[in-house]
Structure 1
Amino acid sequence: MARSPLTKEIIMLNFPPVSEAPGLNAYPVLYWNHVGLEMNRITHSLGGPQGGPTLSARALGLLHLAMHDAYFSVLGAGIGDNPKTWLPDAVVPALPTGVERTLTNANAAMTAAAVTVINLQYGSLPASMSTTARSTMVHLRMQLIDGYGPHIDTLSAVHGHGVRVANLILDRLAIKTGEPGAGHEGYEPKSGRFYFRDEPQHPVALVPIDPDDRSKGLKPARAYHGPFYGTTARPMAVTDPEGHRLAHWPEGGEYDAAVKEVHALGGAPNLSTTTRQPDQTVAALYWAYDGVNLIGTPPRLYNQILRVVAWDKRDPAADPQTPTLHATIRQTSEFVRLFALANVAMADAGKFAWAEKYRFELWRPLSGIREHDESSEAGRDGTEAVTDCADPFWLALGAPRTNTDQASFKPPFPAYPSGHATFGAACFQMARLYYAEAGKAMVTPDGTDDIGFAFVSEELNGISRDLDGPYDPNRPLTDQPGLVRTYVKRRFPSLWSAIWENAFSRIWLGVHWRFDAFDFRDAIGTDGKYKKPHDVRYSNVWTKKRPADVTDADLPIGGVPLGLGIANDIWQGGMRASDAETIPERAHAYA
């Protein structure tokens, strides 16, 4: 396997261990999922590629889609219970002569696809990384690949087959050189009331002029994540790309109610106006994963929970060390299919959520509450007194910069809809649909289910902390002074309740309005209070092929129905490519 040269100096990056049941990574698909999740937190700790919620979700979607198609193309897509590949039938490479349709060969092809995607997605490193960080990134990536137990025979025919499948998918779906991706070059935020722009607390960041020579000083930089991503990134598996749109965010009385709510529930702890309860603060931090040091982004969190759920529902008769056992083949296939469905759904959730974010460009509460009084806008007449709920000095609890000594922040992209709400709903809805069809869960299509789980978030694992000084990457986190976050194991009776709390957590964090997540009419009871999660029904979710004359009033509000609709669309379409276009094969491999 090809190796990139390493310098002698690398950062040790002592990652806290992940706490989960032993045995998961004996299944190759779960090992490579683990590698993808590790690369997520590595790249966000080193400032590497595929950063932020959009690209990190896309990287995991590409990884699992390539593994899915390599695996099922060997077992025989469409044979028996095996699902069709994402790639159109006419495009799937023929199985090399002499390669038998066995689990061992399917796992080998899947491994080749995984390595190909990981090396391509994380092998091209940005100039903003220091030489030491780049060397560390290469070292850790190769260490994870080498940590795979079985020998990877890169010269075998089945390995070559997996590489070809991965490259066909990458040619279609990977962000190409010259495409904007999540970059913001050329983007200028709008000015004026309601528009997203630089947050008042951190309008600029200071970054090194030369990452290898900090003596050259710092320069100011503004960060806007993904302004062109939603309109330029190719969708992965939705069948109705024009159908996943949202209504305009609500104005008038509902907007004012949302202002009052987040002002009280999302404020900084030291403000006299903050009424958030301890359990709400726990939930706010529990679901955060805001691209921070040693933790990464929300798609990593949702995959971690999916691992818990999938392992709990595994077939106890399956044994990954017995490749001839029928139960093992069936169980492996289940993992391959489920994780591909969920991660492709999250990849598309990122695209469509960001398309809507930058279509509306709505400000976040930190700006909206501080500038709620119309006199805050240049050119307006003054007011005799500040408008009710306008608070020019308000501060949010904010997205936590965990495992650093830096202050909390507002995510650098517009509020509506909530990315957390969209990603979480897409992932968990896909799991609900999958287990309902498999007969492993009781699921109400637009309501609750019996897929319960317990999970310890790495934001609240008794190790992560708010540091007293700069993070030292060469020292274990447990040896660094700071306020340690209390260990909390949170239990959920259903994935439906997790969808709800994940979405609501952003209000308690003070970085989202409630309509960023859901239509309040679906969530508020006749008594004016919030319903219990199991009583909530999201009444307006995507339905296949909306009529061309659909009005704004017909569209859903918020990230939860957007994510649910994306999952429903992909599920109903069987996670197939949207067309049968022939794709030229790459002239070289990335293995």
Structure 2
Amino acid sequence: MTDSQPSDDRVDKRDRAQQYPVADTRIRSSHSSQAPPSTARRRQFLALGASAVAGSLAGCLSLRGPAADPATDPVCRWNEQFIEEIQHFRGGNFAPTRRGALLNVAMFDAVNGVVAAADEDHFEPYFADPTDAPADAPPLAALAGAADEVMTTLYGSEFDETLEATLVAADGGDAGAGEAWGRRVATDLLAHRDDEYTTGIYVPCEEATQAGCFRRDWNPVYATVRPWTLESHEQFRPDGPPALESEAYAADWHEVYEQGRAGGDRPQEHVDIAAFWRGAPGSPRPPNMWNVITQTLMLEDPLPVLEEVRLFALLSLALADAGIAGSDGKAEYGFWRPRTAIHHADRDGNSDTHADQSWEPRATGGSPEYPSTLAAYGGAGCAVLEGVLGRGDYAFEFGGDIRTGTTGEDEGITRSFDSLEDALEESLDSRIYVGNHFRFTMDDSCEMGEQIGEWVLENYLRPV
């Protein structure tokens, strides 16, 4: 296991302090006058049980392009099927993380179980007891059974073509027993996670005119969902936004004010980045951008089946808990979005901000601003991928048919990156360019996601 050195790259490269020196004043909630000291940013990535991937990975995954061959990469093919379903999903970002975890954890436990039963090198299971697995079953048959059971249960669709192709590739052993085992694993996991949803409307402030307050009703359905790996919802909860009267708040207020306004003269690069990561209907949604990135890397340089399905399972667990932790933080802090903060800056007590009722963002969210789940997903996804694959500078591109859902941009966008860190940084910038998050939120949320990713790597699906 190796740790990288702490880094403050995201803060340093902006050089904001020249105009607004960063203050140490922070608040536990958006309505508290007490402020604990801020902590230094940490960027730690863990290499657990794997060697770095050598060379440059260059490939483009078009979401509606040629499918992965289930005979050679069934893990990617089933994840492609999942992404295709998500592109038709009309809900928010949280449900797709749950569904991705159900799919990939079931596939992992099914494959890992038959490998363990055959007394070969394997990993700790997430939920399924491998002592019950058939020792003479081909792993791909178990994978096929688990994947098909989850997908048909979640979507009510038929996936017979992918199922049959995966089973055909499952050479040797008792394929029927393997498929049955996979379906049992999936059924047990679905039952284990069947208590997911709560209901209710959360109103975070008593007075609609209160400064710093998110002013709309919001249903925090995932704020109380049982985490997949975390010991508590608040385990990695960030400290909260800076005090409204602080220089740090003013610095980031001005950044989004200047770069997040809809219309006007903006670099086309900023427009493309904002649209690409926005997560509009028809896209994979923000958390599953990291699933698509993983598919891109695996299609170019695949891992053995058990290692690859473990990677997707680790990723999915981290993304699911990043969404849960992010929702918990939103319910805790109830912080206002930039649109409200700019329209009502005359209430924030900060002499370096000013109210502008004409300012409009490119988009604004329907949930409290702090933390950002997109940034949490990015931190978690990048931590897992770099922890398993290493921190090599491998180039990749992805997107192709990712739709932005906005007029004039429906032709889709492809983005190119020199590294996973490059993609992460761009995703953080995107929420500034779209005008619906502050930089302090993106930084804190990314750090929370990284901590979740590291937690998953350290404590789950470890080599036996």
Same fold (TM over 0.5): yes
- Higher-Rg member (1/2): 1
Corresponding residue SS for 1:52: coil
Is 1:450 the counterpart of 2:444? The answer is no
| Alignment deviations for residues 54-105 of structure 1 (CA, whole Å, 9 cap, x no partner) | 11111101110011001110111794432121127xx446124xx504xxx2
Instruction: Quote the residue 1:515 is aligned against.
Output: 440
Deviations 1:433-452 (A, max 9, x none): 1012xxxxxx2xxxxx4132
User: Structure 1 residues 17 and 58, CA, compared in 2 at 3 Å: closer, same or farther?
Assistant: closer
**Residues 269-284 of structure 1 aligned to structure 2 (within 5 Å):** 269-270=263-264, 276-284=266-274
Structure 1 unmatched runs, 5+ = 1-15, 45-50, 123-137, 199-221, 316-330, 399-409, 437-442, 444-448, 468-482, 519-557, 577-591
Distance 1:148 1:115 in 2: 7
The one-letter amino acid paired with 2:270 is Q
Once the 2 structures are TM-superposed, how far is the Cα of residue 23 of structure 1 from its aligned partner? 3.8
Match 1:117 to one of 142, 150, 160:
150
Go from structure 1 to structure 2 and tell me whether the alpha carbon gap of 1:34 and 1:351 turns closer, same or farther (over 3 Å shift).
same
TM-score by length of 1: 0.61
Structure 2 partner of 1:196: 214
Q: CA deviation at 1:429?
A: 1.4
CA contact (8 A) 1:289 1:459 kept: no
Q: Which AA in structure 2 matches 1:159?
A: E
Structure number with the higher helix fraction is 2
The number of residue pairs the alignment matches comes to 391
Contact 1:69/1:165, CA 8 A, preserved across alignment: yes
Match of 2:73 among 20, 23, 27: 27
Letter in 2 for 1:112: G
Query: Do 1:259 and 1:389's aligned partners in 2 also have CA atoms closer than 8 Å?
Result: no
1:560 to 440, 446, 449: 446
Aligned residue for 2:97, secondary structure, equals helix
Residue 235 (structure 2) aligned to one of 229, 243, 247: 243
| Letter of the structure 2 residue corresponding to residue 507 of structure 1 | I
After superposition, the Cα gap between the structure-2 partners of 1:148 and 1:505, relative to the gap in structure 1 and judged at 3 Å, is: same
Deviations 1:375-431 (A, max 9, x none): 9xxxx9xx9xx9743212210011xxxxxxxxxxx2211111111111111112101
Q: 1:100 aligns with which of 117, 136, 158?
A: 136
**Which structure is higher in RCO with an 8 Å CA cutoff and minimum separation 6?**
2
Corresponding residue to 1:266 among 247, 251, 260 = 260
Aligned partner of 2:371 among 393, 414, 417: 417
Q: 1:336 to 1:263 in 2, by over 3 A?
A: same
Q: 1:67 aligns with which of 83, 107, 112?
A: 107
1:197-212 matches, cutoff 5 A: 197-198=215-216
Query: Compared with structure 1, are the counterparts of its residues 20 and 362 closer, same or farther at alpha carbon in structure 2 (3 Å cutoff)?
Result: farther
1:465–1:187 Cα change, 3 Å: closer
Give the structure 1 partner of residue 323 of structure 2.
350
2:358 equivalent in structure 1: 393
Report the CA distance between 1:503 and its aligned residue: 1.2
Residue number in structure 2 paired with 1:40: 86
Partner in structure 1 of residue 24 of structure 2: none
C-alpha contact 2:371 2:441 (8 A) present in aligned 1: yes
Residue 54 of structure 1 aligns with which residue?
Answer: 94
Query: What amino acid is aligned across from residue 157 of structure 1 in structure 2?
Result: A
SS in 1 for 2:165: coil
> % of aligned pairs identical?
26
Q: CA deviation at 1:333?
A: 1.8
Cα distance in 2 between the residues matched to 1:343 and 1:508: 27
Task: Provide the rounded CA distance (Å) in 2 between the counterparts of 1:357 and 1:187.
Answer: 10
Query: What CA distance in whole angstroms lies between the structure 1 residues aligned with 2:410 and 2:180?
Result: 46
Q: Indicate if the aligned counterparts of 1:506 and 1:512 stay in contact, CA closer than 8 A.
A: yes
Is 1:503 matched up with 2:428?
Answer: yes
Q: Is the 8 A contact 2:117 2:130 kept in 1?
A: no
Runs of 4+ in structure 1 deviating by more than 6 angstroms, as ranges, are 151-155
8 Å Cα contact 1:93-1:165 kept in structure 2: no
TM-score normalised to structure 2 length: 0.76
Helix, strand or coil at the partner of 2:397: strand
Distance 2:117 2:446 in 1: 32
Contact 1:286 1:457 in 2 (8 A): no
Report the equivalent of 1:297: 285
Any idea what the Cα deviations from partners look like across 1:247-282, whole Å, max 9, x if unmatched? 121121111111111011000114xxxx64221221
CA–CA separation in structure 1 for the residues paired with 2:75 and 2:382: 19
**Letter of the aligned partner of 2:252 in structure 1?**
A
Counterpart selection for 2:186 from 166, 172, 178: 166
Residue deviations 1:121-142 (CA, integer Å, cap 9, x gap)? 33xxxxxxxxxxxxxxx4xx22
- Partners of 1:157 and 1:19 lie apart in 2 by 34
- 485 and 170 in structure 1: CA distance in 2 versus 1, 3 angstrom threshold: closer
SS at match of 1:516: helix
Query: In the TM superposition, what whole-angstrom CA distance separates every residue of 1:459-518 from its partner, at most 9, and x where no partner exists?
Result: 46xxx6645xxxxxxxxxxxxxxx244664322111112111111210110010111111
Q: Distance in 2 between matches of 1:34 and 1:94?
A: 29
Partner amino acid, structure 2, of 1:503: L
Aligned mates of 1:54, 1:265 — CA distance in 2: 27
2:236 alignment partner AA: H
2:300 to 312, 316, 323: 312
Q: Which amino acid aligns with 1:280?
A: H
RMSD: 3.0
CA distance in 2, matches of 1:456, 1:151: 26
Give the 3-state SS of the residue equivalent to 2:454 in structure 1: helix
Unaligned regions of 5+ residues in structure 2, if any? Answer: 1-61, 169-173
Distance (Å, rounded) in 1 between the aligned partners of 2:301 and 2:113: 25
Taking a change above 3 Å as real, the CA distance of residues 265 and 79 of structure 1, as seen in their structure-2 partners, is farther
What letter is aligned with 2:315?
Answer: A
Deviation (angstroms), 1:167: 2.4
Q: Structure 1's 258 and 333: CA in aligned 2 closer, same or farther, altered over 3 A? A: same
Corresponding position of 1:521: none
Per the alignment, residue 493 of structure 1 pairs with 418
Q: Are residues 196 and 300 of structure 1, via their aligned partners in 2, closer, same or farther at CA, if it must alter by over 3 Å?
A: same
